[in-house]
Amino acid sequence: MPVIGAYVTSLGSSSEIKIGPLPDPVPGPREVLVKVSAVAVNHVDTFVRSGAYATDVSFPFVIGRDLVGTVVSSPVNRFAPGDRVWCNSLGYDGRQGSFAEYCAVPEDRLYALPDGVSDDAVAVLHSAATAYLGLFEHADAGYGETIAVLGAGGGVGSAVVQLASTAGLRVIATARADDAEWCWECGAEEVFDYTDPDLYDKLPAVDLLWDNAGRHDLISAVPLLSRGGRIVAMAGLRETPTLPIGELYTRDASIRGFALSNAGVTALGSAARVINQGLSTGILRPRIGTRLTLSSAAEAHRLLESGEARGRIVLEV
């Protein structure tokens, strides 16, 4: 029986995404065969599909990074048929993606889903890994520090607020006015309307600043940093902002750029342990705005790229 998947045969717009039969995935010696039940769409998925983010792909290329599913077969003892599992690092660097009924997943990129956690967990897997590694492995976030999270209502922003507040940081959030309640629920102490033209005049001094929108108004942002402050740069692929270099170096401040795509299996494994703890305890909570089926993969990409979608987009497989 053919496996149905969402794939492209060339890089380009969301209209290039096709739905149809694919060859059965044949697991390698260290790969687990997974029956996929849910997937989610990330901005980086659209960058890979369009060619904006250069990575090794082979055609037909199955799109997508994240999945939740059930083990069918495994060459390693830590997984058994019937185990519920997740992955957040398919669909780049030579690996086929997650948007298919069955996937062969490298065993060192696959993690057990905690008992009692639903398929909706797929909505936080990529954003929470980004938040954890950005905060604690790249920006060295510490207890008692103050962080400004710009664009805190989105997927990554929400995860940053949830993890930072739980770790004892004081979180200042900026978001749309109708996202303020959600930001408070996630753990923000103060929430500012990011459409306010005087926003930067109202924000306090901070140790960390994370700009999820990727606009990087560094002329306004750098003066907010305390001595030794850090800006996390992980969005704004094509932005070329002006950097007030004097304001930066006289504060011993720095900009910490990173991409989750560069994380190795050790770093991803560290993030996975935190993600599973956050899912088990309810610290990490998804906000799903759109639910579709795999057959609507092209529409899911279009919605994300157009900015029409509010909340995460999850597809049932």
DSSP string, 162-190: HHHHHTT-EEEEEE-GGGHHHHHHHT-SE
The residue whose two tokens read 């990330």 is: 42
Could you give the CA distance from residue 130 to residue 163 in angstroms, rounded to a whole number? 11
Write out pLDDT tens, residues 245-283. 999 999 999 999 999 999 999 999 999 999 999 999 999
Q: What is the CA angle 11-13-14, rounded to 5?
A: 110
User: Helix H segments across the chain?
Assistant: 43-50, 125-132, 155-166, 180-186, 199-202, 218-221, 245-249, 265-281, 297-306
Q: According to the model, what pLDDT value does residue 210 have?
A: 98
Domain 126-260 indexed as CATH 3.40.50.720: yes
H or E element: which one contains 286?
none
Question: Which part of the chain is CATH 3.90.180.10?
Answer: 3-124+287-316
Query: For every one of its 317 residues, what pLDDT tens digit does the chain have, with 9 covering 90 and above?
Result: 689 999 999 999 999 999 999 999 999 999 999 999 999 999 999 999 999 999 999 999 999 999 999 999 999 999 999 999 999 999 999 999 999 999 999 999 999 999 999 999 999 999 999 999 999 999 999 999 999 999 999 999 999 999 999 999 999 999 999 999 999 999 999 999 999 999 999 999 999 999 998 889 999 999 999 999 999 999 999 999 999 999 999 999 999 999 999 999 999 999 999 999 999 999 999 999 999 999 999 999 999 999 999 899 999 99
| CB 128, CB 96: distance < 8 Å | no
CA distance 225 to 244: 12
pTM more than 0.85: yes
Torsional sign, CA 305, 310, 208, 261: negative
Residue 307, class by beta-carbon neighbours within 10 Å (0-12 exposed, 13-18 middle, 19+ buried)?
Answer: exposed
> Is CATH 1.10.10.10 what the domain over 3-124+287-316 is classified as, yes or no?
no
In the chain, CATH 3.40.50.720 sits at 126-260
Run of H or E including 149:
strand 146-150
Burial label for 131, CB within 10 Å (0-12, 13-18, 19+), is buried
Closest CA to 235 of 215, 250, 256, 214: 214
Q: What is the mean pLDDT of the chain?
A: 97
78/85 Cα distance (integer angstroms): 11
